[in-house]
Homo-oligomer: A and B are copies of this chain.
Amino acid sequence: MTNKGREFEIERYRIDQEPFYVESQGEVGLFTTAAQNRMPVMLKGPTGCGKTRFVQHMAYRLGRPLITVACHEDLTASDLVGRYLLRGQETVWIDGPLTLGVKHGAIVYLDEIVEARKDTTVIIHPLTDDRRLLPIEKKGQIIEAVDEFLLVISYNPGYQSVLKDLKQSTKQRFVAIEFDYPAPAVETRIIEREAGVTGEVARALVKLGEKVRNLKHHGLEEGVSTRLLVYAGTLIRQGVEPGRACEVSVARPITDDADMQRTIGELIKAVF
């Protein structure tokens, strides 16, 4: 508890405890091979299916620090590479997350890369060539990545639009591993563990998750993530009535449509 609230040094990006992750289709081996051969990796899949947890797990397994950057449309190349800052009377250079990773051999994870501005997207091009270089224009320098550096991006194909899509000249620099929601047995184990509920409750929640995800073909924008099912489980463990717990954790967050909320409400009743 004394640990909380103070500022961490940048090398603390290393993950000390093994993040819980259950493999589904050989992705651990594939990622390991890619990392050993310095091949950039793209994680494809819907919201909340475990991409972020997987990369945390792999960073732990490979013993490399993990630097995560949530991309957005105002993220500049400088935000990634670094900038000069005034500190009192002195100007000091602060390495950005990408430069940090390139120098110290971290996994740099650019989450939702399609959201980034084009200059951010393009800065990774020379890093994904066989020469693995990062030009730092502001310092007139060029850095070669250490062997342990690995670039990983996530990409949700469902979001793709004309305005926000990766260029082929970017896409074709990555090995792509596809993700989907965990299999029922796996998801049950996750919920049991993270929400601290019985197997029975966990199985009911997984069943609800499956039913809600099927609604995606009937107008629901996106299926429910494992995280929200864990939220529901946690509330149930704390004594919240299961129907209410699922309403506030599942039905309300994922849709504003009254009909869809009613439909999900009936699914909740059917399960509990």
Binding site for B on A (CB under 8 A): 1, 3-10, 12-13, 26, 29-30, 33-34, 36-37, 39, 42, 44, 47-48, 52, 68, 70-77, 79, 84-91, 94-97, 102-105, 111-112, 115, 117-119, 121-123, 125-126, 129-130, 135-147, 156-157, 159-160, 167-169, 171-178, 194, 221-222, 224-225, 227-228, 231, 234-235, 238-240, 244, 248-249, 252-254, 256
User: Chain B nearest CB: distance from A272 CB in Å?
Assistant: 17
A142-B8, A144-B5 given as contacts; is B86 within 8 A of A119 (CB)? no
User: Chain B nearest CB: distance from A53 CB in Å?
Assistant: 9
Q: Is the CB of A39 within 8 A of B91?
A: no
Given A70-B122, A88-B90, 9 more contacts at CB 8 Å? A5-B143, A5-B146, A8-B141, A42-B253, A48-B172, A52-B129, A73-B118, A111-B125, A176-B253
Closest residue of B by beta carbon distance from A171:
B253
A122-B71, A240-B33 given as contacts; is B8 within 8 A of A137 (CB)? no
Q: How many copies does the complex hold?
A: 6
Q: Is the CB of B173 within 8 A of A227?
A: yes
Closest residue of B by beta carbon distance from A10:
B140
User: Chain B nearest CB: distance from A259 CB in Å?
Assistant: 13
Closest residue of B by beta carbon distance from A37:
B234
Q: Is the CB of B4 within 8 A of A146?
A: yes
A86: which B residues are within 8 A, CB to CB? 84, 86, 91
Q: Is the CB of B119 within 8 A of A73?
A: yes
Q: Is the CB of B249 within 8 A of A175?
A: yes
A73-B118, A143-B7, A169-B156 given as contacts; is B238 within 8 A of A33 (CB)? yes
Considering the chains assembled together, what is the distance between the CA atoms of A49 and B76 in angstroms?
Answer: 29
A256: which B residues are within 8 A, CB to CB? 44, 157, 160
User: Chain B nearest CB: distance from A232 CB in Å?
Assistant: 9
Q: Is the CB of B177 within 8 A of A122?
A: no
Q: Is the CB of B145 within 8 A of A4?
A: yes
Q: Is the CB of B137 within 8 A of A79?
A: yes
From A122, A130, A136, A169, residue with most partner B Cβ within 10 Å? A169
Q: Is the CB of B234 within 8 A of A39?
A: yes
Q: Is the CB of B119 within 8 A of A169?
A: no
Q: Is the CB of B74 within 8 A of A174?
A: no
Q: Is the CB of B97 within 8 A of A91?
A: no
A115: which B residues are within 8 A, CB to CB? 118, 122
A10: which B residues are within 8 A, CB to CB? 140-142
Name A72's contact: one of B118, B174, B235 (CB within 8 Å): B118
Q: Is the CB of A147 within 8 A of B3?
A: no
Closest residue of B by beta carbon distance from A42:
B253
